[in-house]
């Protein structure tokens, strides 16, 4: 899949963004401005057409068909009359390549916005040359974009899968069990622990499915499948209020397309 992509991630360079460079345009809240020409996300005419003043920030992403491509945050003033869309909505509609680019842009702009001062000495950080990092010139501390790994798992039992309702979900929506990886844990240990903690089950045969960036704000979701081993479902009552086994042809309401949870469930249905 990746070899046919237009986009290529590049090592960090110090090229400043010019007003006619290809870009994805964000508002300060992290929402995206769809491109009017083709309803895609890339503005081929650059930010110059949309900005009356210098943008708030710009992050170099890589190359789109050989041309430099940036994520740009416009100022509040330049955003006023335009209709931006939430990234979650966009992920539900766009193809994998543009979704990936949008996630990368959102995550890097967030990181730049929240990584301006050294947490060790309070010094103002500078861009590091030759890699995507920020450097404290006073004490030498380096800051890289933060990525927080989380696991998500489809647990199989006979012909059914385990789905759970998280208390933060919309009413009636069920998804796969998921959670953040603890420091010092392997991904597989995190999968087993989350299932045990959230629904009280033991699982086995944990196997990798795939992964997806989820920039809300900096998660890398790592997907797995596993088989039921023992125990009966006991929702923890904190995060998970209900959970049950569902046949793939009798599923409840699911998370919207674009999420890895939905991609895993859709792939299991397609495999049947
Ligand atoms: Zn410092």
209 shares a domain with 98:
no
Say whether the peptide bond before residue 217 is cis (omega within 30 degrees of 0). Answer: yes
**Å from CA of 121 to ligand 1 middle:** 4
Handedness of CA 226, 230, 236, 241 (dihedral sign): positive
**Å from CA of 91 to ligand 1 middle:** 37
The answer to whether the complex's ipTM is over 0.95 is: yes
The token pair at 224 is 């797995």
41 shares a domain with 100:
yes
**Å from CA of 132 to ligand 1 middle:** 17
Q: Find out whether 11 and 130 touch, Cβ atoms under 8 Å.
A: yes
- The CATH number covering residue 75 comes to 3.90.79
The token pair at 78 is 């330049």
Out of 114, 133, 161, a domain closes at 114
Residue 140 lies in a domain: no
Task: Provide the residues around ligand 1 (an ion) whose CB is within 5 A.
Answer: 118, 120-121, 123, 136, 138-139, 141
- Out of 37-46, 82-91, 145-154, the most confident range is 145-154
Residue 142 lies in a domain: no
Range of the domain at 9: 2-114
Average pLDDT, the chain: 93
Confidence of residue 2 (pLDDT cuts 50, 70, 90): low
**Å from CA of 128 to ligand 1 middle:** 14
Residue 132 lies in a domain: no
How many domains does the chain fold into?
Answer: 2
pLDDT of residue 35: 87
Q: Rounded CA gap, 149 and 23, in Å?
A: 27
**Å from CA of 117 to ligand 1 middle:** 8
- pLDDT, tens only, 189-238: 999 999 999 999 999 999 999 999 999 989 999 999 999 999 999 999 99
107 shares a domain with 7:
yes
């Amino acid at each position: 899949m990746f070899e046919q992509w237009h986009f290529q991630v590049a090592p960090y360079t110090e090229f400043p963004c010019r007003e006619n460079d290809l870009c994805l345009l964000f508002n300060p809240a992290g929402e995206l401005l769809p491109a009017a020409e083709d309803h895609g996300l890339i503005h081929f005419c650059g930010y110059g057409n949309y900005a009356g003043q210098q943008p708030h920030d710009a992050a170099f992403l890589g190359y789109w068909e050989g041309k430099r491509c940036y994520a740009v945050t416009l100022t509040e003033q330049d955003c006023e009359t335009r209709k931006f869309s939430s990234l979650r909505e966009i992920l539900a509609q766009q193809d994998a390549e543009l979704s990936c680019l949008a996630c990368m842009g959102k995550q890097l702009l967030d990181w730049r916005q929240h990584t301006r001062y050294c947490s060790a000495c309070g010094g103002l950080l500078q861009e590091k040359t030759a890699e995507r990092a920020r450097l404290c010139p006073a004490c030498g501390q380096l800051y890289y974009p933060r990525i927080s790994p989380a696991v998500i798992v489809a647990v199989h039992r006979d012909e059914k899968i385990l789905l759970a309702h998280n208390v933060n979900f919309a009413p009636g929506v069920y998804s796969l069990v998921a959670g953040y990886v603890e420091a010092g844990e392997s991904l597989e240990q995190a999968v087993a622990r989350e299932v045990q903690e959230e629904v009280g089950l033991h699982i086995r045969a944990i196997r990798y499915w795939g992964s997806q960036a989820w920039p809300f704000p900096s998660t890398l979701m790592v997907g797995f499948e596993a088989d039921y081993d023992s125990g009966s479902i006991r929702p923890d009552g904190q995060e998970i209020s209900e959970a049950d086994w569902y046949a793939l042809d009798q599923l409840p309401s699911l998370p919207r397309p674009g999420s890895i949870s939905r991609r895993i469930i859709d792939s299991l249905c397609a495999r049947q």
